[in-house]
């Protein structure tokens, strides 16, 4: 548990950067609640 | 057979700024939502002329107007250093001006959907006749010629979409159905532009490879468009429609989709069919995507930069059985981003790059160039999307460090040596590795490269069917393998070198002599 515990998260990922799913995986044990997660593509 | 020859390739651009101004999704949505906003009023001031687009170094690299090495050495920023004496035609294809492209769209229309104004159509017909890949029977398909008043009525009263050239209406795309939105004029325009781009690429491919249209056996189309009606929304089939216009009477075809991973998957599929003997040969091709024109123009305008996304991209590749004369796609070293591979960048790079290499006992340094996502950085950087090809090769170098194939201090050198600078428009499926096939094959034929990896990645999540992305990769090598280590394990310590029949014979004879010696 870190400083994100109890927070609500909006995750915006990018395919050739870091995808939303990967960010979600990193934050799995942070104690935060992911309320929206998406990957986008700008190319 | 685990390798398939690449006999020919073509790359074309269609310079279509006015299609972009009106039907690129960013300007189109802005106009629908806000009317003529400040952004839309500003955008025309930032578009490039045909001469500027032709002199833009990445565009010349794409059509083979300059060698890749000349492109690497071209002065940057390219937008401030247009090439002088740039030509319309390169050794891979051409940059077709917009008026002729509208004519080509009309040529590709077999349902009386595109109407062109009479004098415009006459001029365009004359110009198209001079294109070295056109012939009389193709140009004769340009019909649907009407008076301007009829075209205006079609736009005003019947939901047609106007076509512009020089700021004036010169034609329209008629609405295909009152209710079925798959057949609305916008969708039909998008599909016909994609078809026309595919036709142009196919015609150049036939010329470049010295192939007659009737020799083509099968065509796979791999764009990102969807042709169909409300009962079969993307039923297809662009491939056969393209083959028909190009006169490939003995060909059939089908479409393969996978967002930006479509072309690499289509090439693997086409190569597999040729390798199995199911097809005598196979063309893999795609036209461009109108909605992606000026996709990032809001950021370009905001920063006072030219709006560079003014070209549709097209390509075509001819696959034939490996007869020892052409560079080949290896089918025994394919990269696949499986469902369970994970979404983290290193997991994707591992699945697409490390796994196929290690399965063949190859290391990162055994590949001369990694071609993944070749978007022009001058388009993506101002839009905040980064330098995509650079990000990809950086990830490859980082993976090589993780796998202990490279020292961290060697990363910069690896990136410079094995990366590719982006020279493809942000046309989704077009930049996905495939623009480098031509360069790779030219170098392999010249003996200046021995192995290139082509990598495509697709954003499947955009369709809201899955959160997953996809990717695929393959290697291109000389026929018979690269001299150093193309055969599995041939150059790896601890693995036996390849042996010939004669070697085996002499080893057996040696062993038999030994046995005889012991018996006597």
Contact A16 B426 (CB under 8 A): no
Contact B343 A19 (CB under 8 A): yes
Structure confidence at residue B502 (pLDDT): 59
pLDDT digits (tens, 9 = 90+) for B309-362: 999 999 999 999 999 999 999 999 999 999 999 888 889 999 999 999 999 999
Q: How far is B196 from chain A (nearest CA, A)?
A: 22
Nearest CA in chain B to A20: B343
Residues of B in contact with A25 (CB under 8 A): 342-344
Domain limits for position B443: 330-477
Instruction: Find the DSSP H helices in B303-370.
Output: 345-349, 355-359
Q: How far is A5 from chain B (nearest CA, A)?
A: 23
Structure confidence at residue B514 (pLDDT): 67
Structure confidence at residue B498 (pLDDT): 47
C-alpha span between B242 and B284 (Å, rounded): 11
Instruction: List the structure tokens of B62.
Output: 């794409």
Residues of A in contact with B345 (CB under 8 A): 17-19, 22
pLDDT digits (tens, 9 = 90+) for B12-54: 999 999 999 999 999 999 999 999 999 999 999 999 999 999 9
**Domain count for chain B:** 1
Q: Tell me the whole-structure pTM to 2 decimals.
A: 0.91
Structure confidence at residue B490 (pLDDT): 37
C-alpha span between B382 and B301 (Å, rounded): 10
Structure confidence at residue B234 (pLDDT): 96
Instruction: List the structure tokens of B353.
Output: 């790059």
Instruction: Give the residue from B346, B381, B461, B465 with the most A CB atoms within 10 Å of its CB, the best one to mutate.
Output: B461
Contact A25 B388 (CB under 8 A): no
In chain B, which stretches have pLDDT less than 70? 1, 483-520
Report if residue B344 sits inside a domain.
Answer: yes
Residues of B in contact with A38 (CB under 8 A): 461
Residues of A in contact with B391 (CB under 8 A): 16-17
Report if residue B72 sits inside a domain.
Answer: no
Report if residue B348 sits inside a domain.
Answer: yes
Report if residue B346 sits inside a domain.
Answer: yes
- Report how many Cβ contacts below 8 Å link chain A to chain B: 61
Cβ partners under 8 Å of residue B89, min gap 6: B63, B65, B132
Residues across chain B? 520
Residues of A in contact with B384 (CB under 8 A): 42
* Residue in the block written with tokens 């479409």: B255
Contact B469 A17 (CB under 8 A): no
Question: Between vectors from CA B474 to CA B471 and to CA B479, what angle results, nearest 5°?
Answer: 170
Contact A42 B469 (CB under 8 A): no
Q: Could you tell me whether strands B311-321 and B3-15 are parallel, antiparallel, or unpaired per DSSP bridges?
A: antiparallel
Instruction: Give the residue from A12, A13, A16, A28 with the most B CB atoms within 10 Å of its CB, the best one to mutate.
Output: A16
ipTM above 0.90, yes or no: no
Report if residue B382 sits inside a domain.
Answer: yes
Contact A42 B384 (CB under 8 A): yes
Torsion angles phi and psi, residue B15, rounded to 5: -80, 105
C-alpha span between B50 and B53 (Å, rounded): 5
Confirm or reject contact between A28 and chain B (CB < 8 A): no
Q: In CATH, what number is assigned to the domain containing residue B388? A: 3.40.47
What's the mean pLDDT in A3-25?
88
pLDDT digits (tens, 9 = 90+) for B405-457: 999 999 999 999 999 999 999 999 999 999 999 999 999 999 999 999 999 99
């Amino acid at each position: 548990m870190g400083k994100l515990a109890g927070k609500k998260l909006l995750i915006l990922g990018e395919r050739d950067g870091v995808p939303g799913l990967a960010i979600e995986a990193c934050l799995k044990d942070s104690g935060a609640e992911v309320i929206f997660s998406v990957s986008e593509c700008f190319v | 057979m685990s390798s398939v020859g690449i006999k020919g390739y073509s790359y074309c651009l269609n310079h279509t700024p006015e299609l972009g101004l009106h039907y690129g999704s960013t300007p189109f949505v802005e106009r629908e939502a806000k009317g003529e906003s400040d952004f839309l009023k500003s955008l025309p001031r930032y578009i490039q002329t045909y001469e500027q687009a032709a002199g833009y170094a990445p565009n010349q690299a794409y059509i083979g107007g300059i060698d890749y090495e000349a492109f690497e050495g071209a002065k940057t920023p390219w937008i401030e250093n247009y090439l002088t004496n740039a030509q319309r035609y390169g050794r891979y294809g051409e940059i077709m001006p917009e008026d002729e492209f509208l004519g080509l769209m009309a040529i590709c229309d077999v349902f009386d959907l595109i109407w062109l104004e009479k004098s415009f159509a006459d001029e365009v017909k004359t110009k198209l006749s001079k294109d070295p890949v056109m012939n009389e029977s193709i140009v004769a398909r340009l019909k649907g010629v009407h008076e301007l008043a009829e075209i205006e009525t079609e736009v005003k009263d019947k939901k047609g979409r106007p076509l512009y050239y020089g700021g004036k209406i010169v034609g329209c795309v008629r609405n295909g159905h009152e209710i079925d939105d798959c057949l609305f004029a916008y969708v039909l325009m998008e599909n016909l532009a994609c078809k026309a781009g595919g036709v142009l690429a196919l015609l150049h491919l036939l010329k470049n490879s010295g192939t007659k249209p009737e020799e083509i056996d099968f065509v796979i189309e791999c764009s990102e468009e969807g042709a169909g009606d409300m009962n079969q929304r993307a039923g297809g089939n662009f491939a056969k429609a393209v083959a028909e216009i190009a006169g490939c009477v003995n060909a059939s075809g089908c479409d393969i989709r996978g967002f930006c991973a479509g072309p690499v998957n289509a090439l693997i599929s086409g190569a597999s069919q040729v390798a199995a003997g199911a097809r005598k040969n196979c063309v893999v091709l795609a036209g461009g995507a109108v909605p992606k024109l000026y996709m990032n123009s809001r950021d370009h305008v905001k920063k006072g930069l030219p709006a560079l996304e003014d070209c549709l991209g097209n390509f075509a590749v001819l696959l034939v059985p490996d007869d020892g004369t052409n560079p080949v796609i290896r089918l025994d070293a394919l990269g696949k981003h499986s469902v369970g591979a994970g979404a983290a960048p290193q997991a994707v790079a591992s699945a697409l790059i490390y796994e196929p290499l290690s399965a063949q006992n190859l290391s990162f340094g055994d590949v001369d160039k990694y071609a993944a996502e070749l978007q022009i950085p001058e388009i993506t950087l101002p839009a905040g999307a980064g330098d995509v090809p650079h990000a990809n090769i950086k990830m490859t170098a980082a993976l090589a460090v993780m796998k202990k194939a490279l020292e961290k201090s060697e990363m910069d050198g690896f990136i410079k040596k094995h990366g590719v600078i982006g020279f493809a428009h942000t046309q989704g499926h077009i930049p996905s590795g495939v623009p480098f096939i031509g360069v790779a094959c030219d170098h392999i034929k010249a003996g200046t490269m021995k192995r290139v990896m082509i990598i495509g990645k697709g954003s499947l999540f955009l369709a809201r069917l899955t959160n997953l992305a996809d990717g695929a990769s393959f290697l291109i090598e000389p026929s018979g393998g690269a001299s150093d280590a193309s055969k599995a394990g041939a150059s790896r310590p601890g693995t036996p070198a390849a042996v010939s029949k004669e070697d085996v014979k002499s080893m057996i004879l040696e062993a038999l002599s030994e046995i005889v010696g012991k018996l006597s």
